Structure 1
């Protein structure tokens, strides 16, 4: 019975991913719909961002840019493992590039989270560490921190049980914030790296 249940769960999860990849709900996007995410049922570490940027849309791979380089440095993970390890998942609030706004990219369309988020999160049963980037991700995953400044959200999440961490966006645009808040890289990053190592090493021992 357990084998049948596990096989059914895998089939359902595979079907869900195919449905998300084929999603065309937002046909009017500037560059057209192109859902981008990285998910496996074995994911233990889940990275929640806002939405793919223009470069990600064109490369068809998340965080393959300077922001991704900094994010991997924060996590203590090399690039090959970041993309190849099924235990590392990436699931943005919006699956497609929403287009450029007056100051940065537009927000992810609400219909994306409404359609896909709850059922996908329910299917990811092995996640032990969630890294949350951006106001939209905070509002959905950590509503008690909604409305806080980035610094407040980062500090309060880092006081928890090491299952959720709020991160500032790793974009070079945030260099000033990082200079003004040196405690983040000095105090929070080591804890994140320790949690990442612990989750990945536990899986290797099984």
Structure 2
């Protein structure tokens, strides 16, 4: 949160930082992690913080973030500090870990905060939609649909949305099996990111 945010976003973000709705279900307690900016043109819509992100309070401050920044074609400084970029996951707090990795984002979070928060960022032009839960909310991915199919249909959604797999190292095999993603989607994504940043400047 920065002092030049309008009062409505300041108040909303303060409410989010103080949120305790999911506290009984969070193994490390609440620590909402997001970057909201009223002037943002590019929205990074991901899933939920991992343990390392919870500890540092910085979204995508992990190996997934390194890969995501490579896909976007930007460095850490731009990712975290450019006023055109907002980073708003589906769940703001670390949900814990299950047998297959991190648990899904708590559903209460998006139901409570997502629409008012996006309404407070009316200049968003492109949303980078990362992973199944964000794809479900933003692009209507249903339970029987595959993330791969939605990502392969990226031209149907661009430039307003870019559906992506999660950049986690757990998806290394997926990336190896789907070389078209880095050959086709990543260059188009980088160009769109560049356009969003240049339009702001």
| TM class, shorter-length | over 0.9
1:114 pairs with 100, 111, 116, which one? Answer: 111
The 5 Å alignment of 1:59-70 reads 59-70=56-67
Larger radius of gyration: 1
Instruction: Say which SS state the counterpart of residue 23 (structure 2) adopts.
Output: coil
Matched residue, 1:135: 132
CA distance in 2 between counterparts of 1:62 and 1:121 reads: 17
State the shift of 1:161 in Å.
3.5
> 2: CA distance between counterparts of 1:151 and 1:107?
19
The structure-2 alpha-carbon separation of the partners of 1:50 and 1:161, relative to structure 1 and needing over 3 Å to count, comes to closer
Inter-partner Cα distance in structure 2 for 1:62 and 1:195: 21
Match in the other structure for 1:11: 7
How far does residue 24 in structure 1 lie from its aligned partner after superposition?
A: 1.2
1:122-147 deviation line (CA, Å, top 9, x unaligned): 1110101101111111111111x334
Would the aligned equivalents of 2:46 and 2:134 in 1 still touch at CA under 8 Å? Answer: yes
5+ residue gaps, structure 2, are: none
If the length of structure 1 is used for normalisation, what is the TM-score? 0.91
Q: How does 1:182-197 map to 2 (within 5 A)?
A: 182-197=179-194
Unaligned stretches of 5+ in structure 1? 1-8
C-alpha RMSD over aligned residues: 1.2
Q: TM-score, normalised by structure 2?
A: 0.93
Is residue 2:38 matched to residue 1:41? yes
State how far apart, in whole Å, the 2-side matches of 1:56 and 1:111 are: 20
The structure 1 residue matched to 2:174, chosen from 166, 172, 177, is 177
Distance 1:148 1:162 in 2: 22
How far did residue 27 of structure 1 move? 1.7
For residues 86 and 155 of structure 2, what CA distance do their matches in structure 1 show?
20
